[in-house]
Amino acid sequence: MTAIVPPPPAVLSNGGPARVRVYEWLRDEIIRGSIEAGRFLDEQWVSEAVGVSRTPVREAFHQLSAERFITLLPRKGAQVRTVTSRELEEVYQTRLLIEGHALSVICSLKRPVPGEMLTLLDQMEAAGEARDWFTVSFLDRRFHRAMVAEAGNTVLLEVYDTLRSRQQRVAVRALTARPERVETINKQHRAIVDAIANHDATSSLKLLKLHLRPLSEVTSALPTED
């Protein structure tokens, strides 16, 4: 099967291991949607585009496959996976478990709102106004991660960090499908911050559940399986 060649990449930094450079570029372009779901990636094209040998490309492919960004097909190469409705729902469910626990700890111990959460509010809103969904998803993840980190459980934070890439991809997919929701999301972020400031565990958890509720308009537009 002939590989569908994605658009050429932007100028890449020469810093860092080749495998990491390939991985990060492919991951980010898949998250952005520049490399679309269903496309086949050719090892030779990627190696020439990034300026590396094929070995680090293969290594990056295996990492992306482990993170469920691509599917490795014998004799066909690598195909970009589609975000499914089940994946979207499961990512939100997992986040709710971890973030809900963090909120409970923060409120019960009467800890202050993490400074990073406050700093990121305006930045997320500015990126939303620019309809830069990649930046919105990146800042959104930092916002929620700061909350998890404040709970002080390093093991739980490590588990949360494994969701990073899929969390961003799901967020971009949801915002692309429903861009008008960015204003609602911004209001929910500020409401969550206010609830934390008041150490109101009940309100903060209620707000988080609403915030992480998969919308039927989005999930119904996604395939149920790969």
HEC secondary structure over 141-183 = HHHHHHHHHHCCCHHHHHHHHCCHHHHHHHHHHHHHHCHHHHH
How do residues 140-197 score in pLDDT, each as one tens digit? 999 999 999 999 999 999 999 988 888 898 888 888 888 998 999 999 999 999 999 9
What's the confidence (pLDDT) of residue 85?
A: 83
Predicted model pTM: 0.83
Domain boundaries, the chain: 18-80, 85-219
Element (DSSP H or E) covering residue 106: helix 85-108
Tell me which residues of the chain have a pLDDT lower than 50: 1-13
pLDDT at residue 5, rounded to an integer: 40
What is the third-level CATH fold of 85-219?
Four Helix Bundle (Hemerythrin (Met), subunit A) (1.20.120)
> What is 18-80's CATH number?
1.10.10.10
pLDDT on residue 220? 62
Give residue 223's pLDDT.
64
The per-type count for the chain, helices as H runs and strands as E runs, is: 11, 3
